[in-house]
Structures are given as C-alpha cells and as structure tokens.
Amino acid sequence: MQLTIFDDIYYRAFYPLTFTRSIGDLRCGALKLRQRVEYLFGDEDSATSIFVEPRLKALYLERHPDWQINSLFTDDTLYINSRLVITDESYEAIKAMQPETALCNADSIIAIRSSRITKPVLEIPEGVKRIASDLQMYKHIAQLITDNQRMLKWDFERIFYDNDNYFETETGVSVINPYNVWLGEGVKLAPNVVLDASEGPIIIDENTRIMAGSVLTGPIYIGKHCLIKALSKIYEGVTIGPHCKVGGELENSIIQAYSNKQHDGFLGHAYLGEWVNIGADTNNSDLKNSYKNVKYFNYKAQSRIDSGTMFMGCVIGDHSKTGINSSLNTGLVVGCGCNIYGSELFSNFIPNFSWGTAENLTKYRFKAFLDTARAVKARRKLELGEQEAALYDDIYGV
C-alpha cells in the first residue's frame, strides 16, 4: 500500500510558518509531523508522496528532486492529513482502515484509503465510504506548542528508546535518570553539564555540543549539529531543530532549524521558523498579568483568536531578526523577513518584511532582504535557490 501525506486548506492557519513550508514540515515533539506519519505508516519498499499547496510545489521540487511531490498513485493508497494529532488511538484507527473508506470529522478529511483519487485530496470520491470520527487535528500554531511535551515523550518511547544509543557518562557530567536519556553519535558534553531526565526524556541528536554549565530538563529534543552555549537553561517542552545555536533560558518552545538564540534572554511557549536570529537579551512574555487565555493573530481568521491556553509567547517567521534588548509581548506574531529593534514593546502582529521599531515600522526593501538572506545562508555553506527567492518575492507581494 502506498502512502500520501497531504495538506488541506488549513495551511493559512499556520502562517507565517507555512508561508515557506508544508504543514507536514512543522515540528512537534522530536520529529516533523510528516516524518512521524511516514515512520508509522510508510513502507520501506514504496515511495511516499506529499501534497503541498501549489505555491510551494516548485520550491519542494528544487530542494527535493527525488521526492514524489503532488503525485498521484493509481493503486491502493493511504492518504493521511498532515494535521493529524498522533495518539495510540489515531494510530490504531488508521491502521485498521479498509479499502475505499474515509475517516472524517466535522470539518476535515482525516484519512482516506482508496485507489480512486484522481486529484489532490479535497473531497471524498464517489464510492468511498465516509466514516465519522472524533480523532483530533491541529488547527493552529498554539496547539503544536501546547502538545510538544506529550509528543516528546511519545517519540522517545516509541521511536528513540530502541535505537542505538551512544550514551556514555562523561567526567563532570551529572545525569538524573539515565534510562531516559538518548544521545546520538558524536554528541559532546562539557564538564558541569546537568541532564535532568527525571520528569521526561532528553534526546540529543548527532554531533551536537553542549557547553559547560548548561542545565537541560526533560522532556526536550535537541537536533543534529546544534551548539548549546555555556550556562544555558533549557527546561521542559523544548524542541530545537538541526543546526541551531542556542543560549540563555528556554522553555516549552519549538525552533525549526538554522536559527540562532545564542545570548541571554528568555524565550517561552514560542515557535520560531528557520534562519531566525534573536538579539542579545531579547525577552518574550508568555503569561498575561490577568492570567487569562492569550489571544494571537491568526492569518486564516484575519483576526486574533483564543490560543486555548494562558501560556503563549511569540511566533516568528523565517528570516526574521530582533535587535538587542528587544521586548516581545504575549502572543506576538512576527511575519517572514522582518528586522525589528528598539526599546518599545512589540505587541500583536508584525506584517511580513517589516523593518524598524514598534512605533515606526516600514517595508523592508526586497533586494536588501535577498542580499542578507544569501549572506546568512552562505555562512552555513548553503545557497538561496532560484525557486526559494521566487517564493519570497511572491510572499513580499501579499
């Protein structure tokens, strides 16, 4: 049986993060949503196809020329919505699906097993039996942040626990509950590092370096080729993608990849895209003084929505930057390609490609943005692709 992982019309609800990626490439837990679905339901002998919104197709083909992008299979295929919340219940329900059936909730297709799909999954074909389901779906970014701790534990127990573990107790490193610690090959732990896995697993992936005096409290995941700066305090619920440099204080936050928060300052209940740079002593608030639920700007609704939680920090899109000593208010959403700085408090919503202080924002010149983006990627020995530049040009005009 073939596997297809698809995005639906909810992709706008995950802007600004999905301006530049599929919903399936958002991180929650130790993996991206797509990676977890493929691990659970994929077949090593069969290719997996992914369906992204048409605007992203050229970018994905440029980056992944060997992938099946928006390609239809003609035989028995399992189609799974990338927004599916993975639980034991959802895993068993989808594994048990019979041919020519579809699981649906009130407003979404959860999964279809069929050989009759002739176009991207937006409706159920004739002859496919609709089955009502109460399986849960992610509907906005705050839900990914809230669910991160649970998914970190789920991934450790079902995916990492039985994998090769390169854990070794090094001189001067303190480990609490070592059976809850998984280290990839080439991990380096400096003296006086504390790994406290008493309340949840700690997963540190290949070739990552933890500098002296850092305290890590599980559940957390730190991706490949990361650098955790000296005296960092990384608390529960943190996911850090590959090639990031992180320091200061973090809790309950997700960082995609290639982003830097190297200096002191607090980041909590936040979600950062790629190529984000957080200036020294930047802090975000993640709790209102009233202790009420946080509202934040949602692109799909074109208004602020209830996050469903009293804890919500900031959301920052790709290639955005903050200056030193920036203050980010509870529920702040910053679009792609922004450069914000100054002593005023940034609140509510910063549109794509904004430049300046909270009280004086102007539009970032597109050529200047591209020049900076190319320079940033060149420092990591990467290039800004033609289709990537074209996509940002398209976003600039939104």
Indicate yes or no: pTM above 0.85: yes
The torsion region of residue 282 among left (phi > 0), alpha (psi -120 to 50) and beta comes to: beta
Beta bridge partners of 101: 113, 129
Q: Cβ of 57: how many Cβ atoms within 10 Å?
A: 14
pLDDT band at 73 (very low <50, low <70, confident <90, very high): confident
State mean pLDDT over 88-106. Answer: 95
Q: Cβ of 29: how many Cβ atoms within 10 Å?
A: 26
Residue 270 corresponds to which amino acid?
A
Is pLDDT above 80 for 215?
Answer: yes
Tell me how long the chain is.
Answer: 398
How high is the mean pLDDT of the chain? 95
Q: Which domains does the chain have, with CATH numbers?
A: 2-139 (3.90.550), 143-396 (2.160.10.10)
Please tell me the predicted confidence (pLDDT) of residue 118.
80
**pLDDT 10s digits, 120-156:** 667 788 899 999 999 999 999 999 999 999 999 999 9
pLDDT above 90 as % of the chain: 90
Q: Which of 7-11, 223-227, 278-282 has the lowest mean pLDDT?
A: 7-11
The distance in angstroms from the start CA to the end CA of the chain is: 40
Q: Which residues of 5-22 are buried (b: 16+ CB within 10 A; e: fewer)?
A: bbbbebbebbbbbbbbbb
Whole-angstrom distance, CA of residue 41 vs CA of residue 80: 9
Is pLDDT above 90 for 72?
Answer: no
Please tell me the predicted confidence (pLDDT) of residue 121.
67
Is pLDDT above 80 for 371?
Answer: yes
Dihedral (Cα; 323, 327, 333, 336), 10-degree rounding: 0
Prior bond of 219 cis (ω within 30°): yes
Q: How far from the centroid of its chain's Cα atoms is residue 216's Cα? A: 20
398's tokens: 């939104």
Whole-angstrom distance, CA of residue 254 vs CA of residue 144: 9
State mean pLDDT over 349-368. Answer: 96
**pLDDT 10s digits, 148-176:** 999 999 999 999 988 888 888 778 999 99
Q: Which residues of 154-189 are buried (b: 16+ CB within 10 A; e: fewer)?
A: bbbeebbeeeebebeeeeebebeeeebbbbbeebeb
Main-chain phi, psi angles of 270, to 5 degrees: -120, 165
Of 294, 295, 315, nearest to 304 by C-alpha is 295
